[in-house]
Amino acid sequence: LSKYKNERRRETEEEVKNLVKQISGIQDEEDQNFQLALKFTWSNFRFHRFLDANSHKVQRSVNGIYEKLMVHSDLSKAESWVRLTEEFLNSPLPNTDGIKVWLDKKHTEWSEEESEDEDSQQPLSREDSGIQVDRTPQEDQEKTVPVTWTVGEPDARTWLEQHVVTPYWQGHTPRFPHSLHLHSNLLNVWDQHLYNTDPLYLPEEKAFVTETQVIRETLWLLSGVKKHFIFQHQDGKVVVRNDVVVTHLTNNCLRSLLEHIAVYGQAVFRLQRFIDEVTGYDTEPCPPGSYSSKQGTEPPFRTYQAFVWALYKYFTSFKQELTTIERDLIGKDETVTLAGVLDRLSPHLAQIKVLHKVFCTGVAEVPPETPNVVRASHLLNTLYKAIIEYDSVGEASQQAVALLFSLWTETVRPYLEIVDEWIVHGHLFDPAKEFIIQRNKDVPVNHRDFWYATYTLYSISETVESEEKLSDAASGSSGGEQASRSQLTMVSFLKPVLKQIIMAGKSMQLLKNLDCKEAEQTDDAERKSLYTLFLESVQSRLRCRDDSPTDTVTEQQATKQSLIKMQSIVAQHLQMDDIHDPLLAINFARLYLEQSDFHERFSGGDVIVDRSSESVTCQTFELTLRSCLYPHIQKRYIECCGNLMTTLKKDYRLLEYLQAMRNYFLLEAGDTMYDFYTAIFDKVLEKESWQQLAFLNVQLQEAVGQRCPEDSSRLSIFLETIDPVRKKQPVNNLDGLTLSYKVPWPVDIVVSSECQRIYNQVFLLLLQIKWAKYSLDTLTFSGRSKEVKAKRLEGTPEEVKAKEPINQQIHRMFLLRVKLMHFVNSLHNYIVTRILHSTGLEFQHQVQEAKDLDQLIKIHYRYLSTIHDRCLLREKVSFVKEAIMKVLNLVLIFSDRWQVGFGAWKIGSIDKMESDFKNCHMFLVTILNKAVCRGSFPHLESLALSLMAGFEQC
């Protein structure tokens, strides 16, 4: 026995070494790895306990495999399986008598703890090892030699082709064995029918495949694989081979089904190719914010990257579903049919259809040379419009709306990041130029035109889809207003807050440049980004919708309520088909609730948007934006613009400069400006030259310096060259007199050169009225009437003496002076009191209430425009101004001749002056009364009534 055991040990050692060599491929027994493998194998043989095999379980498994092969029509495999298993089970075992002996291991003698004495003294029994061992040594039995072979690469491929699957992808492949049942031979029956009924029918060469193979290629096609046998790519399109058939379907039926699949395969192929193009053919695209090195030197187009990232995450979940189906197909635990697979994939296929439609409209149809700003705007608009369109359908499109909303949420991330960077830090970071607002590098922040010409707003026409470039002129929102008038559409979701974004961004950039303390209060470490705040708000809105307004109910009660609600819905649908079965309705309701996770939820960023309530976007997408996005932008707008307005008013004395413009240009500082302009009028009355620039500036500095020394250094006066023809009229002698006030930056954003031009127009009109009034007011009427009469009689022409007595002529001049003075005083009171004073009070109130700099600029422009219009300086009412100027010119001529005396008067001059004044007066009264009656110019009522009273006295 000892000799037998030693011999068996040596044989076992050799077998174990051969086993290690075959499995590990290491032939050198001295190799360290070989020794480790050998020790591991011996350890398993010695110390692992093998249980007895269960014959019933083995037989049940063998029979189960046979039934599965029969179900799948693998008749030859089923027959081979039965034959080989029977041969194996009936074959004799070495060192053991009999057949079908269910053994787990043959010896226990490998244990090193057992001594030879113990083996010889103690008999072996079933209680020792659990097996029956033949004690008779079988030395004469042939030793089993292990079979070893080496397989090369070509032989391995041949072996795989012969043993794994029928090579259906090769031409002229022999037909596979299948069931002889009628259902499995429908193609042959149909071909035979066509052959019998159609004498011209000619059977074609066909490539037979199984339904399992069709399913696998369908899964591979939808997963993005490009090389197939059934489906082929031709010129970028997915087509179906004409010669592929299955035995249980007709050719037309199969082709119709495969072409339906090819449409979705084509959509997957186009979307996958777009993902590869944007990501640079990387295996996995990087999240937004981290870019591939294959992008080259051009800045990354972040909007497309975000869109691709959303598509990639969707296809990741979709491919997981495809992998699950393929595993079920490989396992063969259940019958998997093509119809069942398509039914299982129907929700995903519907979503792919939606994704492909959005891709075609938003990306594929855009011309290649289109700027990035148009591409990004068009894509976001397409998603926005698609959500609104599916929203209008209602509950029938909840899955599509949820998918598009998730896609839009990812795609909009770069836009919200650009907005966040701009309104928080004052930096418009847009290297790829994809944002609808772009910075003009030529205009620095400290330039006076910064507020008007720093940014360009791009818009897209809804009809022709062409790029329109609108200058951001005059104010931050003027471009947007112009776009709305031109029926242009920008990024739709930003329309309601576009003005706030522009204002907050420019205000923050200006604050940063002013080194304002309020601009340094943002802490990025603790601050949440605009995108994160938006997602959190959406999630909060979802939770609010899901929460019951009453007390919180338990999960069991909630499930019961959902079941009752779903049961009533299902019952209504069943009643439409005249089915009144409450039990069927409740079971359908339970089935539906169990499948409630039909839509894979996905979102980007650190915040996961809860999609438990799919009705979040149904009919509420715009309301979602208004409650979850716009308030965050509005809050930041109020903070930025409020800080800027406080800084301008407090640190840069904005209100003081606005008041200074009114004091000097609108003559509200009456005593100061009176000293200045009366010095000019006195020079005119004395017939002295007043057009010297040095004289004018000295008078201005003396008048201002006495009361406002700070403003004296800011004020200056200029003389512009005017047309000599205009100088023929006395009233035009003041033309060219221009006042200038130096306004520091950034106040000159509000008080611009254009504003000063309007101020100067009103200033000149006021000077002309003041001059006419001053001329009439300075006419003297002393007790020297006889002396005056005598002097003037000496110079009176004979024709006048003969016609009219002197006293009557002097009386007429007195009356004309009174009429002229009434007219001038009425005009002066109207402009100074009704226009400048009342409008100024309203302007002051509006300036105090202004929320942002753009609103303040508009208020200032509106104020100047109002004054300009009501002072009759607009081109549309130029004829009214001309009539007024004729009267003022008449006043100056009258005053000049009054001072000279009767000797300077010509025959009939008094008559002509009276006639000219009467015509102008009557014309103005008529025009102003008509305007007041129409209600178009209510502010002219006081002037019209005053002139009417003077006209009635004439």
The tens digit of pLDDT for each residue in 614-640 reads 444 445 688 888 888 999 999 999 999
Chain position carrying tokens 């043993």: 163
The tokens of 301 are what? 């187009």
For residue 216, what pLDDT is reported?
A: 93
The tokens of 648 are what? 């301008």
Whole-prediction pTM: 0.66
Distance CA 363, CA 638 (A): 36
User: Does the pLDDT of residue 675 top 50, yes or no?
Assistant: yes
The residue that leads in pLDDT, 394 or 487, is 394
Which whole number is the average pLDDT over 341-368?
93
Find how far residue 801's CA is from the centre of its chain: 89
The tokens of 119 are what? 């083996």
For residue 825, what pLDDT is reported?
A: 93
Which whole number is the average pLDDT over 260-283?
88
User: Does the pLDDT of residue 481 top 70, yes or no?
Assistant: no
The residue that leads in pLDDT, 466 or 900, is 900
Distance CA 925, CA 919 (A): 10
Chain position carrying tokens 């309301």: 623
- Residues 102 and 130 sit within 8 Å (Cβ to Cβ): no
Distance CA 236, CA 157 (A): 31
pLDDT tens column, 795-835: 455 554 445 577 777 788 888 889 999 999 999 999 988 88
User: Does the pLDDT of residue 288 top 60, yes or no?
Assistant: no
User: Does the pLDDT of residue 6 top 90, yes or no?
Assistant: no
User: Does the pLDDT of residue 286 top 60, yes or no?
Assistant: no
pLDDT tens column, 755-793: 999 999 999 999 999 999 999 988 875 544 444 444 444
For residue 792, what pLDDT is reported?
A: 47
| Bond prior to 299 in cis (omega within 30° of 0) | no
DSSP-assigned letter for residue 458 = E
Which whole number is the average pLDDT over 690-713?
90
Relative to beta strand 231-234, strand 207-208 is: unpaired
Which whole number is the average pLDDT over 112-116?
40
Least trusted range by pLDDT, from 139-148, 552-561, 865-874: 139-148
DSSP-assigned letter for residue 499 = H
User: Does the pLDDT of residue 152 top 60, yes or no?
Assistant: no
Write the burial class of residue 763 (CB in 10 Å: 0-12 exposed, 13-18 middle, 19+ buried).
Answer: buried
DSSP-assigned letter for residue 901 = -
Query: At residue 337, what is the residue type?
Result: T
- Residues 658 and 860 sit within 8 Å (Cβ to Cβ): yes
For residue 413, what pLDDT is reported?
A: 94
- Residues 216 and 276 sit within 8 Å (Cβ to Cβ): no
Least trusted range by pLDDT, from 107-116, 205-214, 246-255, 282-291: 107-116
For residue 118, what pLDDT is reported?
A: 39
pLDDT tens column, 412-436: 999 999 999 999 998 999 999 999 8
Phi and psi based region of residue 667 (left: phi greater than 0; alpha: psi -120 to 50; beta: remaining): left
Average pLDDT, the chain: 78
The tokens of 920 are what? 């102008």
Q: Nearest Cα to 448, choosing from 653, 751, 858?
A: 751
The tokens of 304 are what? 């497309």
Q: Can you tell me whether residue 142 is helix, strand or coil?
A: coil
* 891-894 contacts at long range (C-beta below 8 A, 24 or more positions apart): 891/772, 891/775, 891/776, 891/820, 891/824, 892/730, 892/731, 892/771, 892/772, 892/775, 893/730, 894/816, 894/817, 894/820
Which whole number is the average pLDDT over 692-714?
91
Query: At residue 748, what is the residue type?
Result: D
User: Does the pLDDT of residue 147 top 60, yes or no?
Assistant: no
User: Does the pLDDT of residue 483 top 60, yes or no?
Assistant: no
Q: Can you tell me whether residue 255 is helix, strand or coil?
A: helix
722 confidence band (pLDDT: 50, 70, 90): confident
User: Does the pLDDT of residue 174 top 70, yes or no?
Assistant: no
Least trusted range by pLDDT, from 78-82, 610-614, 648-652, 658-662: 610-614
Q: Can you tell me whether residue 668 is helix, strand or coil?
A: coil
Nearest-10 crossing angle of helices 413-425, 498-513: 40
Which whole number is the average pLDDT over 38-62?
80
Which whole number is the average pLDDT over 450-454?
83
User: Does the pLDDT of residue 269 top 90, yes or no?
Assistant: yes
Query: At residue 87, what is the residue type?
Result: E
- Residues 470 and 482 sit within 8 Å (Cβ to Cβ): yes
For residue 281, what pLDDT is reported?
A: 67
Strand partners, 231: 240
> What element of type H or E holds 240?
strand 237-240
Which whole number is the average pLDDT over 288-297?
49
For residue 781, what pLDDT is reported?
A: 58
The residue that leads in pLDDT, 700 or 611, is 700
For residue 773, what pLDDT is reported?
A: 93
The residue that leads in pLDDT, 591 or 278, is 278
User: Does the pLDDT of residue 395 top 70, yes or no?
Assistant: no
Q: Nearest Cα to 830, choosing from 754, 932, 757, 919?
A: 932
For residue 652, what pLDDT is reported?
A: 92
Spell out the alpha helix ranges (H) of 780-852. 785-794, 798-803, 806-829, 838-849
For residue 833, what pLDDT is reported?
A: 86
Distance CA 724, CA 733 (A): 10
The residue that leads in pLDDT, 902 or 754, is 754
Which whole number is the average pLDDT over 228-251?
87
1 confidence band (pLDDT: 50, 70, 90): low
Which whole number is the average pLDDT over 906-931?
84
User: Does the pLDDT of residue 188 top 50, yes or no?
Assistant: yes
Q: Nearest Cα to 664, choosing from 749, 740, 757?
A: 740
The residue that leads in pLDDT, 89 or 379, is 379
**According to the per-residue pLDDT averaged within each range, which of 254-263, 540-549, 550-559, 784-793 is highest?**
254-263
For residue 476, what pLDDT is reported?
A: 37
User: Does the pLDDT of residue 231 top 50, yes or no?
Assistant: yes
The residue that leads in pLDDT, 263 or 444, is 263
User: Does the pLDDT of residue 292 top 50, yes or no?
Assistant: no
Q: Nearest Cα to 266, choosing from 127, 391, 139, 359?
A: 359
DSSP-assigned letter for residue 722 = -
3-state percent breakdown (helix, strand, coil) of the chain, nearest 5: 65, 5, 30
The tokens of 575 are what? 């009643």
For residue 755, what pLDDT is reported?
A: 93
pLDDT > 70 fraction of the chain, expressed in percent and rounded: 73
Q: 129 to each of 52, 57, 58, 100, how far by Cα in Å?
A: 10, 22, 21, 19
